[in-house]
Structure 1
Amino acid sequence: MQWLHPDASPAEAHSRQPFEQEYVLLSGLLAYPLSQDLLGMIHASCLSGNYARLGHLSGMFVGCVVTQEKLFLFRSVTSQETIFYRQQGTRVRWSTDPSDLVQEGGEAFDQDALWQCCQGAMVFLYPQLKMIRPGSVVVIDAHGETTHRYEQLVPLNLPRRTSLHKYAASTYHALLQAVQPYAISGRIGVMLSGGIDSTLVLMALVDQGADVVAYHMDTDAPLAREASYAQEVCDRLAVPLVSLSSNEHDDYFSSEWEFPHPYNHVWFGRMQQIAARIRQDGVSLLCNGCHGDMLFGPVRYGLSSIMLGDTSWQEKWTMLQGAFCSRWEWKRLIRSVMPSFSLLDEDWADARQHVDFLVPRPAGVARLPDIQVDLDFLPQEQTADLTIWRPQGIFFCSPLGDKALRQLALRLPDAYRLLPFQGRFIDKPVLRLLLSERFSGQIWRRERCPWLISPDQQYCLSHPHVFANLLGTPETYLIRLHVVDSDQLKRVLADPVLLRRNAETLICSAMTELFLRSQARRGNLSLQGEGADVSLPTC
């Protein structure tokens, strides 16, 4: 397994080029060493138009081939990293960092997209930029640009009415194959919460004989602690566990942070702490289980999922009984016979963050969908790569996002993503079934801790002045862009109940404001509107 660092020495990169004034540049992770033959194959595939050969390369990577006449930009089908590009006249600029491509005079970010970022949505703030989609190559020359799809994910070919146990066995077989190249790459780190996704990745690495160390972010907040789960997993698998405290609130926000895109999550400072420790330990490859929810968890569910799903009649009857014994109202259950109605819609709506201090969106503005997860591109993940992991020399990846696992998930019936049983809802039953063979019920039956936000709520309750200084001054960019309502913010900061209720939105808004300030320092921010200027507020 070879990590291709985008910040490698230019002299080293050029010395590997077998062509005169033509370059092959790569970033990401390859399942085999970089060689002259490999570069030659990529170069020849692009110039001959035989792009399908790029799909034979195993790994998560992006790259480009630069010639005198053409530019080829490509991205593997499983890469979470992408390439952005912008064409202005005869000039083409491209980068994995969108802020590198801001035009002279700065970027005018969409107001509604900023509003959604403050709410915690994974939206992209640079609509003027184009990006490479997975399994695609974009060819740019003097005549324009063309896009070719050289690889596409298709559902795995499995027999009809494949059982839940067979799906579980196929999933683990695919995961073992996915982690096999990692297992021979030296010491590997795993971000372990103690939840089922990261536990499954750790188990597969151990079964493949990898040298693994687990990292866990601990807290002294009793309602949010998951350390006992992480410790039990590591004891069972005989893996060393490194626990790091997450209660250093002094650096919760920093005016020195630089962001290419808002990192609208509450754990940026904590991730920096973990990255520093991982680098100190000499680990350069870090895995997690972040694709577990997206690939194996429920998105839509109803009686139609059970009745129309590719499952046996006996399973349908058992699941229907479970559904009618659940907390769902009968009226909603009957409506869910229609495929267009999902029983989960109201649950997602209830889970949305409160926005009591944001300027209400106009009636004509499109609302943020209840679920907006685009597996093709997750801005938060690429931002973390650019600002946390790559600067520390760490490649961060999720083996659960491997090609074979994605294809299996495309085949997985919705009825196998959520099982109603004895009044409870069992999410990700495929993954839980796998863990039930190796771990106690405390691990495979556990629910995700509902109070993970409690340390952040406590921080908001004890530090309202931080948010007042960051979000509530006339110089605040989010106020000048009519995203934050200063009067409503004062009301929220003065009321402990509202503070707790809006904690996540306050933190996401603070991170978005820090992003705007970092862009202003680089001259990348353009404020549109009467009387607007770009003077930088103090923090």
Structure 2
Amino acid sequence: MRYDTKMRGEFTPDFPVMKKNLMLNGFIWENDGKVNNEWFQGLLKERESEAAQDFIDLFSKRGMDSLCDVDGAFLLALYDQYRGRGYLYRSLLCKTSLYYRFDNGKLKWSMNPVDLLNNNILDHIQTELLLVACFNNNPPNNESFFQDVYRLPPGYSLTYMNGDIKIEQIEKLEVKKGNQYRSIWGYVEEANELVDKTFKRRFTSNDTVAVQLSGGIDSASVLSRLKHIGVPVIAFHWSFKGIDAGDETSDARLITEYLDVPLKEIEVSTVLKHKNYIDQNWKFFTPYGHSFYKLFELTAQKIKEYNIDTVTNGHFGDHIFGPLPDISMNNHLRTIPIRERFKYWFESIGTDRSSPALEKEWEEISPKMFLYKDILTNKSIELARSKSELLRFPKNMKEAFLEILNHETESSLQSNLFEKNIHMMYPLASRELIEFALRIPYAYRNIPTGGIWVDKPILRLMNMGRLPSKIVSKNYNYNMGALDEQYVIQNIGQVKLLLEDSFLTQYKIIDPDKLRKALENKKMAAKLATSLISCCMVEIWLRSLHRIDVKKLTKEEQHV
């Protein structure tokens, strides 16, 4: 079941301000609860008023913990008129942010943080977090990029009563005890069962689904599973023709021919030559610090031509099956059965595990710092040192999952696509799969063989016979940053126009002199391409907020 309500409302000590008593946004697939299942049946029968009362009865008897039994990625808002209680909830798998502001006993909430602010929106920006936005990283767990506006983290509930609020964690990721197999094949078999179970639960209609196919193993495995269970699918692929370092078109064609699935190619390289690849008139309410927004726009337009409104991809594949941050060989060996340790150790001899060396001074701040240091002011570099905890990579897989579930950039994308009536679904994001991933031995995420390291071996073995052998064995990553490099080299003038006299220079994030020097050197500009585009996207967000301020001020002046 999918729900498309725009979540916005207010709880006060006297009354709620809501379009309806029960508001839902997102997907609800199944309720695993053994008792109090009436609300789910009410939703299935499209009787939302009955479901609302069932929710109220359930929460009054068992609290909101019962929502742990629900398999879904959704937001919920509910008001109990009789008890004067308001409830907000964001499920663990929901990647769309829900913002709230609590002031003088009143609670306002919305999917759009700007709804919670009055005039002078830019004055509400947490300027010390602008650098975090430029790094395409998150604010602290429950904060937003706006002062006094907070986010409800995934898996948390908020209860409003008597002019006060109570926030509780309802769902947690746990490393549960499970089978410890004697070889990798046990994990392959369990993963296959979990993926099949998840896909069959979530795709129950005959509606056609769009699959964003890169050409890699993650999205290819999603396409294969959907085809296998009988879901009508069309693959959409971004073709980077002429950008060899990033083009996987031949692989996408091979996959779709093998699976007998329609393929629609979206030509990207020609779009780069036009200045609207990055459009300074885009409207963002939260920062979107990535270069691919135009590609998602083009994809949304394309799938609309086929009357499709749900798009999936292989997102989460890297996290569930891929390698952890670099750890010692000793830790690798400790996680697998004794009889396999010698073979693993022997294969690893002479296999290069090195990664590019970074200057220690900058790496201590952030692994991304080398991409930014040449355009930042000295003040923002010192700020980066003080905010280094927000700029670093996750320390372990549990942190990595929580970060990706609560990422503001992806929430921004989902919200903007929602406005176009396009809904993102992540079929590999299930609680069972994530908790399974937390107990996969380190050594089965990245294995040495034939002098090279092969990542995601479990996912590869799962797809033997399901996908072309070339795709299963492909062990190299295309450089998606090549697209950024091409754009910056071809459009240095636009980058300069956006950033040289910008809000980011006014806020002392970017040093205009350093920026000019970097852009004068094509080699340097190409090296910094990803960071330059991320800063451009943050600047576009700030300009979008400024236009809202100007529009509000103009309306007020006309009213006077």
TM-score range, shorter chain: 0.7 to 0.9
- How far apart in 1 are the matches of 2:154 and 2:483? 37
Match runs of 1:452-491 below 5 Å: 452-473=480-501, 476-491=502-517
Question: 1:451-477, CA deviations, whole angstroms, 9 ceiling, x for partnerless residues?
Answer: 32223212211221111111112xx10
Identify the match of residue 498 of structure 1 among 476, 499, 524: 524
The alpha-carbon distance between structure 1 residues 108 and 150, as it changes in their structure 2 partners (threshold 3 A), is closer
- Does the CA-based 8 Å contact 1:354-1:501 persist in structure 2? no
- Does the CA-based 8 Å contact 1:4-1:29 persist in structure 2? yes
Shift of 1:322: 3.0
- Does the CA-based 8 Å contact 1:84-1:96 persist in structure 2? yes
- How far apart in 2 are the matches of 1:424 and 1:350? 26
Aligned position for 2:67:
54
- How far apart in 2 are the matches of 1:440 and 1:121? 36
Q: Which moved more, 1:364-373 or 1:292-301?
A: 364-373
Question: 1:102-132, CA deviations, whole angstroms, 9 ceiling, x for partnerless residues?
Answer: 3543344334422232233344523633222
Aligned position for 1:230:
252
Aligned Cα root-mean-square deviation (Å): 2.7
Asked if residue 101 in structure 1 is aligned to residue 116 in structure 2, the reply is yes
- How far apart in 1 are the matches of 2:104 and 2:369? 45
Aligned position for 2:432:
404
Question: 1:344-395, CA deviations, whole angstroms, 9 ceiling, x for partnerless residues?
Answer: x99x9389634411224117523254414413401111101111x2122121
Aligned position for 2:47:
35
Shift of 1:56: 2.6
Q: Which moved more, 1:374-383 or 1:127-136?
A: 127-136
- Does the CA-based 8 Å contact 2:240-2:267 persist in structure 1? yes
Aligned position for 1:534:
none
- Does the CA-based 8 Å contact 1:136-1:149 persist in structure 2? yes
* Letter paired with 1:43: I
Aligned position for 2:409:
380
Identify the match of residue 209 of structure 2 among 180, 188, 204: 188
Shift of 1:138: 1.2
Aligned position for 2:41:
none
Aligned position for 1:13:
none
Identify the match of residue 298 of structure 1 among 298, 323, 326: 323
Match runs of 1:237-248 below 5 Å: 237-246=259-268, 247-248=270-271
- How far apart in 1 are the matches of 2:117 and 2:476? 39
* Letter paired with 1:383: S
Gaps of at least 5 residues in structure 2 are: 10-17, 31-43, 358-362, 395-399, 552-560
Shift of 1:94: 0.5
Question: 1:8-62, CA deviations, whole angstroms, 9 ceiling, x for partnerless residues?
Answer: 999xxxxxxxxx9971111001227343443333232233343233223332111
- How far apart in 1 are the matches of 2:486 and 2:62? 57
Shift of 1:156: 4.4
- How far apart in 1 are the matches of 2:19 and 2:244? 60
Question: 1:65-103, CA deviations, whole angstroms, 9 ceiling, x for partnerless residues?
Answer: 123422111122222223211101121111122232235
Question: 1:163-215, CA deviations, whole angstroms, 9 ceiling, x for partnerless residues?
Answer: 31121221121111212131424111111101111111111111111111111
Find the residue that maps to 2:463 and give its secondary structure: helix
- Provide the TM-score with structure 1 as the length reference: 0.85
Asked if residue 510 in structure 1 is aligned to residue 536 in structure 2, the reply is yes
- Does the CA-based 8 Å contact 1:325-1:422 persist in structure 2? no
Identify the match of residue 74 of structure 1 among 67, 89, 101: 89
- Does the CA-based 8 Å contact 1:63-1:73 persist in structure 2? yes
**How many correspondences in the alignment?**
496
- Does the CA-based 8 Å contact 1:71-1:139 persist in structure 2? yes
* Letter paired with 1:477: F
- Does the CA-based 8 Å contact 1:198-1:289 persist in structure 2? yes
Identify the match of residue 308 of structure 1 among 330, 334, 354: 334
Find the residue that maps to 1:63 and give its secondary structure: strand
Shift of 1:241: 0.7
* Letter paired with 2:240: T
- How far apart in 1 are the matches of 2:131 and 2:449? 39
Aligned position for 1:423:
451
The alpha-carbon distance between structure 1 residues 362 and 71, as it changes in their structure 2 partners (threshold 3 A), is same
- How far apart in 1 are the matches of 2:374 and 2:178? 48
- Does the CA-based 8 Å contact 1:217-1:243 persist in structure 2? yes
Identify the match of residue 159 of structure 1 among 179, 196, 199: 179
Asked if residue 118 in structure 1 is aligned to residue 147 in structure 2, the reply is no
Aligned position for 2:557:
none
- Does the CA-based 8 Å contact 1:186-1:211 persist in structure 2? yes
Aligned position for 1:15:
none
Aligned position for 1:433:
461
- How far apart in 2 are the matches of 1:49 and 1:461? 59
The alpha-carbon distance between structure 1 residues 382 and 240, as it changes in their structure 2 partners (threshold 3 A), is same
- Does the CA-based 8 Å contact 1:192-1:216 persist in structure 2? yes
Aligned position for 2:104:
89
Asked if residue 139 in structure 1 is aligned to residue 192 in structure 2, the reply is no
